[in-house]
Structure 1
Amino acid sequence: MQELSAYTRQRWDVVVIGGGATGAGTLRDLAMRGVKALLLEQRDLVHGTSSRFHGLLHSGARYAVKDAEAGRECIEENRILRRIGKHCVEETEGFFVRSPQDGPEFEEQWVKACAECGIEALPLSVREARTLEPNLAPDIVSVYRVPDSAVDGFRLVWQNVQSARRYGAGFRTYTEVTAVNSANGAVTGVSVRDTRTGETGVIPCAFVVNAAGSWVGEIARTAGLTINVKPDRGTLVAFNHRFTSRVINRLRKASDGDIFVPHGSITILGTTSKKTERPDDTVPDTGEVRELLDIGRVLFPDIDGYRILRTFAGTRPLYTADPSAEGRGASRNFVVLDHEREGLKGMATICGGKLTTYRLMGERMADLVCGKLGVNAACRTAIEPLVQDASDELMARARKVFPAQGLEQARSRLGDSFAAAVERLEAAPWKKTLLCECERVTVAEFEQVASESTTYSLNDIRRRTRMGMGTCQGSFCGLRGVGAVLEADLLPAARPEGTAEDAAQAGACGAPDLLRTFQQERWYGIRPVLWGSELRETELARGMYGATLNIDGADE
């Protein structure tokens, strides 16, 4: 990563705060309209809500009854994203399923509401549905087919940022905004702190976009503003089995544990809705997991026979003008707040919404910003793909060096970095070896991401490649990853000077610290589900790292 001074020495048109889907979508839109924009994120990209959800690309059917506007937005954006972001989306389709426990009254309302919103909801016979999804409960009453899909939030955000960079945008991770500065009622810039080095500085800009998700209230307070955003905590469970090929929604009023989403080889069950005061309240607990399992058995009676891979939690940034509305009582729609109305010119906040509507949210914010800056350019984000398809020539080269089972995954994950990974393999064919068998991550792909200036840790690599997110939860690839870092002198951004060996001596990039922080993050999601096969897997990992390698994370 460039020194902080490289950003403080120049003036930007716009600073976007928040490295989730909304911030990345806004950055891309602004850059494509010719605006000089910089994105700042306090951690790594996709560290917050955009990676802590069930991964559902909504058809809008879930919101059709209660929030028709949100339903219409979802189905429109669903169609757009399947077109421009095909490397991020798996077109699974979805079922809405009514169980005997759920009365017919809501079903009638729902069918009518879907039709009014333009959402195709086709009835299926129970027999046909169970032929397609044989693990569904045998006593289900009715089933409808809808155009739901699964979406990879990690990949989506990175590909938006890569697209924005092609148009001249900048981004800096591990950079916390400590204050929004102003003079005479107008924004002049933002004060920032490098969360790794402690370095501070001021980045001048004409406009600030607050797209910090559950943290928008905290950013607003640094500017002397108040925003009524209530973080809402949701817990989810990931199973090490793809026991459904389609998204399965329970056909009733929105409640906990209503959605099963297939992703690759796993299935995610979610979610809960709990009031919280902290935007970073993301450590799940066992009680919530058991609640979800109890609810999930209604649609999948054999759920206890599937191994739980891990559990995780995130917070939704719910905005409401009604102070009494919270949780599922608050709208899932989004709002753009122009703070010039409150006396601060040059700042706006966007909050609420869903990942499905991130592009539309970015468009609405970019419309506002461009209007303020006098930029007369149309939005093109619904037309241009996030990632251009690799050329036939590049794919032909890739097929000669990549392992067949990992080629398509690598191309989708790496985006603009794919060509560089191919070159690594051509130079050293042995690097086609799989460093992570679960997610089919080659040594070449690992090295490519590790060598980039925005990568500081194994967890940063995980969010780009999915290393450690499969069956073994990093028990094997974590150790291999540390070995690869030290052998190839990787993660240059993680140390200020010198080689990896020098940094290890100083404790900046030492193998034990790299491995401990990687395994500790995995442990947060495993600890609440320590029973059955998960407990046995954990004891294996403890034996490897605690006994054999003498790495103890108990003090973390």
Structure 2
Amino acid sequence: MEKATVVVIGGGATGVGILRDLAMRGVDVMLVEKQDLVNGASSRYHGLLHSGGRYAVKDQEAARECIEENMILRKIGRSCVEASGGMFVRLDSDDPDYEQQWVQGCKDSGIEATPITLAKAFELEPLLSKHVVSAYLVPDAAIDGFRMSWQNVDSAKRYGGRVKTYTEVVGVIKENNEVHGIKVRDYFTGEEYEIGCDILVNAAGGWAGKVAELAELEVGVQPDKGTLIAFNQRITNHVVNRLHKSSDGDIFVPHGSITILGTTSMSVPSAEDTSTSREEVEHLLSIGEMTFENLRNYRMLRAFAGSRPLYMPPGGASGRGASRGFAIVDHEKQDGLKGMFTIVGGKFTTYRLMAERMADQVCAKLGNKEKCRTAEEPLVPEVSEEAKKAARKYFPAYGTDLAATRLGPERFARVTETLARDPEKRELLCECENVTRGEVEEMAKELSSFRINDIRRRTRLGMGTCQANFCALRSASVFAKVGRDEAARDSLGQMKEFLQGRWKGIRPVLLGRTIREMEMTRALYELSFNVNGGEKE
């Protein structure tokens, strides 16, 4: 039987944060995830690094946590954060009394909210609606959830942390009201086996309730689905928030060359529900165009959705009324089961704090007195300017810096050496995101890369303008040659899966130019290559 002192269930931001924290304290820790890492809520959100301004009125504890963690994440994860700054704007239709409450709430929460003139607001954001009547600057930012989470894993591995992806927990092993391990199933082979542990941490997000049921426990978690729209243009320079009570469609977050509009709030029975609809898209557009009046003139790339894992204590509120704070449940104290914890709720911005609080409790049980160091030590070293300068002759124009932030210093050095040695590896598999063949092959060697979609989450392959129109075929061909198992060598199946994943998000935004592009994709794959995508999801 494999064994670890602590097993963490769930490969989202909270889970990988706990993995890193415990590993840095010298704990023998293993993380298991039923799919690839960061496939749930930690990647299916607007990518906002909160200043806390959104919670300054109704939840000042969450607001204070956000602003403190905002500053920490900027320091330890510099290559993951785009420090765009944020702006809260009130429209003439919004409640002026709320503005005064918000200003005081920011002051009480320690959030710097600087009032600016309308002239300055329109200078910074020329596309804003003329119905804006007041504006404030706040320290919001954008953050790459994929990259931040993977860098946590890289950091944890340096300290001995272990990760198993595509490993689903199907049972909790316990005896005499004490946890002794878990039973898991390999996603690809169906093989079931056991992993022993002294402490089990349930960090499964929207699935935390189902994991608790495996131990015959009950944890109140309500999956709350939020739908978002990705636009192909950078509509804003700052993160722009409506200055009113939190509602649907009132946040615009710029990421690189795109903008994400979000989000909705809808209680759903299962966290597996990541469906989107044209009705939801129209709903978001109708609200968003109040802030940016020409919103419908911009091309939409796709719609996507994720489920917030809202903690639901008995008698608690639901939906937007529920707290965005987090809770830790010690099941020994609450249910008499020794050796099991559950952590639920929270936000991506506060994942590191959540991990610290959880690791503190675990270490107290283990008698480990090491202090948390995750707020001081960078996740990964930065690629030096010298290394990037030397690599520019091999990478495509504008691609060197992008690759450096995606890869980190060790992988970047290996890919640079590959491109220098073999010019054919400089071929661009994805022009939209400047991803070279050498980078795809490097990521395909990772022990956790089983599918093209796993590489997509690490490189942004297929996530740009053409939405895999061209790179699906190219990447499937390469992955078939360098993949580690039979699944990888099923190039047709890999390509279909990749395209279908993109189609799922494109379908709700089939308007104008998007329809024409999808017809081109259909012609390319179905007519030219005789590839039938099968039943559409």
**Band of TM-score, shorter chain:** over 0.9
Out of 522, 529, 532, the residue aligned to residue 549 of structure 1 is 529
| Counterparts of 2:256 and 2:384, CA distance in 1 | 25
Q: 1:24: Cα distance to partner?
A: 0.4
| Counterparts of 1:121 and 1:533, CA distance in 2 | 39
Aligned residue in 1 for 2:215: 223
The one-character-per-residue Cα deviations of 1:347-367 (angstroms, maximum 9, x if unpaired) are 101110000000000000000
| Counterparts of 1:321 and 1:482, CA distance in 2 | 46
Out of 103, 112, 122, the residue aligned to residue 111 of structure 1 is 103
Instruction: Report 1:326-337 matches (<5 A).
Output: 326-337=318-329
Equivalent residues of 1:228, 1:323 under 8 A apart: no
Q: Which runs of 5+ in 2 are unaligned?
A: none
Instruction: Report 1:437-476 matches (<5 A).
Output: 437-476=431-470
The one-character-per-residue Cα deviations of 1:75-120 (angstroms, maximum 9, x if unpaired) are 0000000000001000000000001110201000000000000000
Length, aligned pairs only: 534
Aligned residue in 1 for 2:178: 186
Give the TM-score of the pair, scaled to structure 2.
0.98
The one-character-per-residue Cα deviations of 1:286-345 (angstroms, maximum 9, x if unpaired) are 111100000001100000100010000000000032445110010000011111111111
Aligned residue in 2 for 1:264: 256
> Are positions 1:406 and 2:399 aligned together?
yes
| Counterparts of 2:146 and 2:492, CA distance in 1 | 26
> Are positions 1:274 and 2:266 aligned together?
yes
The one-character-per-residue Cα deviations of 1:406-451 (angstroms, maximum 9, x if unpaired) are 1111111112422222222232133222211111111111110012
Equivalent residues of 2:388, 2:404 under 8 A apart: no
Equivalent residues of 2:82, 2:141 under 8 A apart: yes
Q: 1:196: Cα distance to partner?
A: 1.2
| Counterparts of 1:392 and 1:230, CA distance in 2 | 46
Aligned residue in 2 for 1:518: 498
Instruction: Report 1:9-20 matches (<5 A).
Output: 9=2, 11-20=3-12
Residues 391, 269 of structure 1: CA spacing in aligned structure 2 closer, same or farther, 3 A cutoff? Answer: closer
Aligned residue in 2 for 1:75: 67
What is the RMSD computed on CA atoms of the aligned residues? 1.2
Out of 341, 346, 349, the residue aligned to residue 339 of structure 2 is 346
Q: 1:391: Cα distance to partner?
A: 4.3
Give the TM-score of the pair, scaled to structure 1.
0.94
Out of 472, 477, 493, the residue aligned to residue 483 of structure 1 is 477
Equivalent residues of 2:430, 2:461 under 8 A apart: yes
Q: 1:403: Cα distance to partner?
A: 2.7
Aligned residue in 1 for 2:226: 234
Judge which range, 306-315 or 531-540, deviates more. 531-540
| Counterparts of 1:404 and 1:166, CA distance in 2 | 32
Q: Which runs of 5+ in 1 are unaligned?
A: 1-7, 496-502
> Are positions 1:361 and 2:354 aligned together?
yes
* Percent pairwise identity: 55
Alignment-mate amino acid for residue 460 of structure 1: D
Residues 537, 420 of structure 1: CA spacing in aligned structure 2 closer, same or farther, 3 A cutoff? Answer: same
Q: 1:261: Cα distance to partner?
A: 0.2
Equivalent residues of 2:388, 2:401 under 8 A apart: no
| Counterparts of 1:391 and 1:131, CA distance in 2 | 35
Aligned residue in 2 for 1:293: 285
Alignment-mate amino acid for residue 514 of structure 2: E
| Counterparts of 1:330 and 1:354, CA distance in 2 | 13
Q: 1:185: Cα distance to partner?
A: 1.2
The one-character-per-residue Cα deviations of 1:378-415 (angstroms, maximum 9, x if unpaired) are 00000000011234664454234223411111111112
| Counterparts of 1:287 and 1:181, CA distance in 2 | 45
- Runs of 4 or more, structure 1, over 4 Å off, are none
Out of 520, 534, 537, the residue aligned to residue 540 of structure 1 is 520
> Are positions 1:372 and 2:352 aligned together?
no
Judge which range, 76-85 or 476-485, deviates more. 476-485
Aligned residue in 2 for 1:39: 31
Judge which range, 88-97 or 401-410, deviates more. 401-410
SS in structure 2 opposite 1:108? helix
| Counterparts of 1:177 and 1:248, CA distance in 2 | 40
Aligned residue in 1 for 2:299: 307
Alignment-mate amino acid for residue 526 of structure 2: G
| Counterparts of 2:188 and 2:477, CA distance in 1 | 23
The one-character-per-residue Cα deviations of 1:497-541 (angstroms, maximum 9, x if unpaired) are xxxxxx7xxxx6322111100000001101111121111111111
Aligned residue in 1 for 2:160: 168
| Counterparts of 2:266 and 2:526, CA distance in 1 | 35
Q: 1:553: Cα distance to partner?
A: 1.8
> Are positions 1:419 and 2:419 aligned together?
no
Equivalent residues of 1:93, 1:246 under 8 A apart: yes
Judge which range, 523-532 or 22-31, deviates more. 523-532
Q: 1:153: Cα distance to partner?
A: 0.4
Q: 1:166: Cα distance to partner?
A: 0.4
Judge which range, 360-369 or 474-483, deviates more. 474-483
Q: 1:197: Cα distance to partner?
A: 1.1
Out of 425, 429, 432, the residue aligned to residue 435 of structure 1 is 429
